[in-house]
Amino acid sequence: MKKLVLALIAMGIMSGCATIVGEKTQRIQINSNPSGAEFSVKDEKGSIIAQGKTPQGITLEKSEGGYFGKKSYEITLTKEGLKPVTLPLKASANGWYVAGNFFFGGLIGWLIVDPFNGGMYTLRPEKIDATLSQI
């Protein structure tokens, strides 16, 4: 029993709050007015990683897996007869990373564990509501 308690304490010390609580991916809802617009999502390298028609939800990675490797995306919506709209989607540190590690995870969580895991980030905006206007 004593070994189990020590193992649990060690796991808590060796992990970061955002890694425990957060997910590596995030669901983003893409809506448009009018609906039925085609969209494409490009990552920071310019590669198209998702396409579809609104309204639709997509799941995106929040980190590229490197040290502090937060992701960024660009979403372009198009519909015939309307001006295309391009919007940024960027990852930023979330509250579990900032406050959670301050109170529970310490330096190991802040500087070692969480920076390699996408759980420390939140993609913003969490929901896309784009209005396409007449040309």
Nearest CA to 94 out of 40, 17, 36 is that of: 17
pLDDT, position 19 = 47
- State how beta strands 72-78 and 85-93 pair: antiparallel
Cα–Cα distance for residue pair 128/57, rounded to 1 Å: 10
Nearest CA to 38 out of 49, 30, 28 is that of: 30
* Range of the structural domain that residue 110 is part of: 2-131
Task: Calculate mean pLDDT across residues 106-112.
Answer: 57
Instruction: For 74-107, write each residue's pLDDT tens digit.
Output: 999 999 999 999 999 998 776 655 555 555 555 5
Cα–Cα distance for residue pair 32/130, rounded to 1 Å: 5
- The domain total for the chain is 1
Q: What is the CATH number of the domain that holds 13?
A: 2.60.40
Does pTM top 0.75 for this prediction? no
pLDDT, position 133 = 95
Task: Calculate mean pLDDT across residues 109-134.
Answer: 78
- State how beta strands 25-33 and 72-78 pair: unpaired
**Is pLDDT above 90 for 116?**
no
**Is pLDDT above 70 for 125?**
yes
In what helix (H) or strand (E) does residue 123 lie, and over which residues does it extend?
Answer: strand 121-124
**Is pLDDT above 70 for 55?**
yes
pLDDT, position 5 = 41
Instruction: For 7-43, write each residue's pLDDT tens digit.
Output: 444 444 444 444 444 578 899 999 999 999 999 999 9
CB-based contacts of 116, cutoff 8 Å, min separation 6: 63, 65, 66, 67, 69
